[in-house]
Amino acid sequence: MTIYNFSAGPAVLPKEVLLQAQAELPDWHGSGMSVMEMSHRGKQFMGIAQQAEADLRELLGIPANYKVLFLQGGASSQFAMVPMNLLRGKSSADYLNTGEWSKKAIKEAKRYCGVNVVASSEDRNFSYAPEFAGWKRDPAAAYLHYTPNETIGGVEIFDIPASGDVPLVADMSSTILSRPTDVSKFGLIYAGAQKNIGPAGLTIVIVREDLLGQTVAGTPTMFDYKIHADNESMYNTPPTYGMYIAGLVFQWLKKLGGLASMERHNREKAALLYDYLDGTDFYKSPVARANRSLMNVPFTLHDAGLDEAFLKGAATRGLLQLKGHRSVGGMRASIYNAMPREGVLALVEYMREFEKVRG
Ligand SMILES: *Cc1c(COP(=O)(O)O)cnc(C)c1O
């Protein structure tokens, strides 16, 4: 039976990448050792790291005045690293609140500065994103932070907010590489790898150079972006195996035609699911149409009493990890880059059958 893993993270990886990693595991390119065993300062691993960065730069069109950092600690560490590095003498920052991840970023930032919440969608259980025109921004804010894709609520913001001279900061953990992004519009982008990049343990930061070097007093060395930038992410031992797998994923994306092509695939996959949800009263999407995520699709059954039977039936068909987050209820299908179209078709087919039997 083919297994389709709809987990929100750690999530599905491309089959080709896993098979290549398997083939190269004990002996990478005739080196006689696994990538896991290599010195991070040796010629072979330095080559792997440089290729990974070059491919990521090519995929996202990252301008030359941006640094790419390969860090650890997850997106959650960035909730603290962002204010520590980007306050630059200022005392407050702007945050948009669109869900559980925004809330965590806000909570952590409050340890370092005043937080001005420019707008919130908590009034309707985070089922939409407030219109940019209504955001109440503080002209003195050090930066403007938002979460372009709320992984739990399945709420995506497709247009990039125009932040003017205030650096725009984005937690792209669950949307990075799903479609083209104009990096030049951002001061800083961060993402945990385990959704759309590779294994958990690697965190990627893309940051404009001029924002570096003005950390708040007491910032630990490991939390200073400039230290990592000056040392090409080799200040300490970076997550080498995760960087290697991420590099294979970047090459896989390039082979498939890059991010414009990936966006077409992703839109097509998401439409299969949303079109079906819109055509029935048995299931329902709780998210406003304009903000429906291409990556995380929550949906509820008209009778929550059927949830357990739905999940059980799904598992017997190899459709796994569909249980929704407790804050939304129902189901959530995460359909990241590596989820094949066939997986979404199998899910829709099962939903149709379940509706026929239980509807
Ligand atoms: C998963 C996720 C996080 C948390 O990432 P960790 O790597 O577990 O710290 C933060 N923000 C978003 C948007 C996420 O999807």
Q: Whose CA is nearest to atom 8 of ligand 1?
A: 74
Average pLDDT, stretch 66-75?
A: 98
195 has catalytic annotation? yes
Average pLDDT, stretch 92-114?
A: 98
What are the φ and ψ backbone dihedral angles of 203, each rounded to 5 degrees? Answer: -130, 130
Q: What is the reported pLDDT for 288?
A: 98
In ligand 1, the atom with minimum distance to the C-alpha of 78 is: 9
pTM: 0.98
CA 47 to chain centre: 26
**All structural domains of the chain:** 15-255 (3.40.640.10), 257-358 (3.90.1150.10)
Cα angle at 284 between 282 and 290, to 5 degrees?
150
Q: What is the reported pLDDT for 208?
A: 98
* Integer Cα distance of 206 and 67 in angstroms: 6
Q: Is 192 in the pocket of ligand 1 (CB under 6 A)?
A: yes
* Integer Cα distance of 77 and 79 in angstroms: 5
How do residues 292-347 score in pLDDT, each as one tens digit?
999 999 999 999 999 999 999 999 999 999 999 988 899 999 999 999 999 999 99
303 has catalytic annotation? no
Has residue 359 got a pLDDT over 90? no
Q: Is 101 in the pocket of ligand 1 (CB under 6 A)?
A: yes
Question: What are the residues facing 358 on neighbouring strands?
Answer: none
Q: Whose CA is nearest to atom 5 of ligand 1?
A: 75
Write the CA distances from 111 to 91, 141, 191, 211, 218, integer angstroms. 11, 16, 21, 20, 13
Has residue 12 got a pLDDT over 90? yes
Residue 193 contacts residue 246 (beta carbons within 8 Å): yes
DSSP letters, 235-254, are: SS---HHHHHHHHHHHHHHH
Out of 174, 196, 293, mutate this one to test ligand 1's pocket (max ligand atoms within 8 Å of CB): namely: 174
